[in-house]
Structure 1
Amino acid sequence: MGCYPVFWRKKNSRSQVVQLDQDIPIAGNVKIYSSKELRKATGNFCPGSKLGQGSFGRVYLGKLNNGEKVAIKVLSSESRQGTKEFLNELSVISNITHHNLVKLHGCCIDGGQKMLVYNYVENNSLAQTLFGNSRSGIRFDWRTRVEICVGVADGLTYLHEEVRPPIVHRDIKASNILLDRNLRPKIADFGLAKFFPGNMTHISTRVAGTLGYLAPEYAIRGQLTKKADVYSFGVLLLEIVSGRCHTDPTLPLDEQFLLEKVKNSPNISLGFIQYCKLFGYGHEYQV
């Protein structure tokens, strides 16, 4: 996956780019952890410290020597795609900071093991807390849901309009929205993100993301724009409002797919269409 060269450093600066393990470029402003340090922080990655697992690896809760809690994302050593995700996520997230994005503390490349260290977000993902898979007991009243929606929108606005070059996340979904102790959302997992040159109308690329959240023109033609994130965010809005996942195979067939259910609910359907039109979508988005 192509990445823009986002690490520029002055001569003789201690933040000069270094090369570690398989010529992977690491910016000096990213703290480098040893595998020994991170093993100690997680109790040798004991099952009890595991926070979750994705397609490219596992995430553990760790406690550093200074007492700070962190989330340690361990990329699969057997997956080449995991290496690509590691490089991409490191290049995208290391030089940007926003209160609605996860914060990267550093990384580890040691003995073939690749890890990313993030700030610990106390209430896990929106998918786990909102969809009933968590025992946290968190109640999502309407005010909280609105604030989560606004926070995710603020994070996307920062990525699309304030970062240069802009960044398209490509995998906005409930499991990639983390919630801190005050239920403020943090967009996470930038392994599929793409830099988007401002002078281009779209990028033709292989389709990547999660079924159910993919924008139609991107899924069909592989044409990526910022609107792909906006469409995914629209699906996320429906999930937050309804309190259910976009797909639920445990329900009767005619209720399993949230967008199909919306289609049969005129008021919700009209609202979603208006949302799509607001951001410049055409008829292909009318569910």
Structure 2
Amino acid sequence: MIVQTQRAKVNVRIWNAHLEQTIIMLHGFTGSVATWDKVAVSITDYRIIAIDLIGHGQTDSPHDVAAYTMEEQVLQLDEVFQQLNLHRVILLGYSMGGRVALSYAKTFPNRVSQLILESASPGLKFEEERTIRRSSDESLANQIQINGIESFVNKWENIPLFDTQKKLPSDVQLAVREERLSQSEVGLANSLRGMGTGAQNSLWSNLGEINIPVTLITGELDKKFCIIAEEMQALLQKARHVIVNDVGHAIHVENPEQFATIVKDAIKD
């Protein structure tokens, strides 16, 4: 369904609509609500609401980069929650969606009862790092708009971060590829420019202020994000870190059943 906000038309998908307690699921860069299909069907005790973030899926992809800042995305998300009459939610985010979830919890702490962050970070710690990353993301954004989606996806699916996905069944790999190919050039390019890791403000110094339960989920083979999660856990007030064996960055894709079990266990605790 489409939710009309002041900022954009936002696509949402809902499972178990008759239930009250709600888990919001936010996808990563190049993703959409479809990424949660196999996880959502395994969680039957909660209403699941997946949202296409700005520039992704069936949500609008404006040409104005100002619409893509993390601050704008957080405000847009809050508009969606208000229209869906959601007052307090469990917020789950993967990678880029995890950064959005963390940013939302910082901005609206009373609206989130629990955070579940999959392969996510609070951004880059130092301005020098952010400057280098912004330059890299701008270059990638330009390539997407010049060369098109297929050229970009051919390269993106072969970066080291996704090496472990090459072991997945061919139908799963094809579904991930088709999801990426369904995106728009301007949406992905502006997403990088507006709320890429280099563009967003660092939230490392804010982690100690978050006093709700936080579950950090990482794949054993994704060493970089395992280390980030350990550093985050040390700064958060109520955090636990779950490492899933034999998977990489996208645990919900590589082992959706175990990921769903971890989510259900986290909520029960």
Q: TM-score range by the shorter chain?
A: under 0.3
Superposition TM-score, scaled by structure 1 size = 0.22
Pair member with larger Rg: 1
Q: TM-score, normalised by structure 2?
A: 0.22
Larger relative contact order (Cα-Cα within 8 Å, sequence gap ≥ 6) = 2
